[in-house]
Amino acid sequence: MTKYAEQILTLIHESDGHMTAEQIFLELKKTEPKVVQATIYNNLNTLCQKGLIRRMSIEGSPDRYDKIRKHDHLVCLRCGALSDINFQDLTVSLEDQLGEGIISYDLKVFYLCPTCRKNK
């Protein structure tokens, strides 16, 4: 793994949020002033392909990157806030409905966050 890939992986694993490529670039630039955006995108793609991180795609928002661990997401329809949440594992239920095994699933629940509900 390249030096930049290791640093990107560390940034994502240490983040409490869901960083965009731009946020990762700006953060890495603080310690690696010569890094370019293409390097960030190339390494993010490689890390996703290797299954070390996951890409979160939400319509109308830039892709965000997340740790690989079982969890689900809440997405605010108004402000776009993305939050982690742990729902009951649905694997068995999904496999029963499909009649066969699944590899994984990615659950995003869309709602209005408390701040947007308050400011409605």
The mean pLDDT of 22-40, rounded to a whole number, is 97
* pLDDT at residue 31, as a whole number: 96
pLDDT range class, residue 18, cuts 50, 70, 90: very high
* pLDDT at residue 83, as a whole number: 93
* pLDDT at residue 106, as a whole number: 87
The mean pLDDT of 89-110, rounded to a whole number, is 91
Q: In what order do the strands lie in the sheet with 64-67?
A: 19-20, 64-67, 53-56
Beta strands in 1-120 (DSSP E): 19-20, 53-56, 64-67, 72-76, 82-85, 108-111
* pLDDT at residue 45, as a whole number: 97
pLDDT in tens, 33-90: 999 999 999 999 999 999 999 999 988 889 999 999 889 999 999 998 999 999 999 9
Q: From the CA atom positions of the chain, what is the Rg in Å?
A: 17
